[in-house]
Amino acid sequence: MATKTLTTDTFAEEVQSDGIVLVDFWADWCGPCKMFAPIFEKASDGNPDITFGKVDTEAEPALSQALQITSIPTLMIFRDGIRVFAQAGALPGPELESLIDQARKLPMDEIRKQVEAEQAVRQTDQQE
């Protein structure tokens, strides 16, 4: 599956959908980004059930700022609308495949309960 170009207008819709979404934050001038690009593309081809998206940080500075991208490349993984991974730095192919495998195996029911509990605590704190 080809990667999708994500923008401020399309980002939320893509990452909030069901399933796994990998997002690569990059820029054309970034050497490590260029080294990581074919690894990301190969993973995209090998995992057609996963959405692979790319955000050009130069073209989407507001999105990059909102997500606190301070170093590129940065990889984020979302599963069922929940961000489950974020890390700066290019990854070798086997490490990326391992992350994908781990994302597939996540106990999402437990993670959803944890997220809901954290949101409830934040709401309580805001009301006080």
Q: Tell me which residues are annotated as active site.
A: 30, 33
Closest CA to 20 of 45, 50, 41, 48: 50
**Measured CA distances, 9 to 5, 51, 76, 107 (Å):** 11, 17, 18, 30
In angstroms, the first-to-last Cα distance of the chain is 48
Residue 38, preceding bond cis, omega within 30 degrees?
A: no
E-assigned strands of 1-128?
Answer: 4-5, 20-26, 51-56, 74-79, 82-88
Are 63 and 34 contacting, i.e. CB atoms less than 8 angstroms apart? no
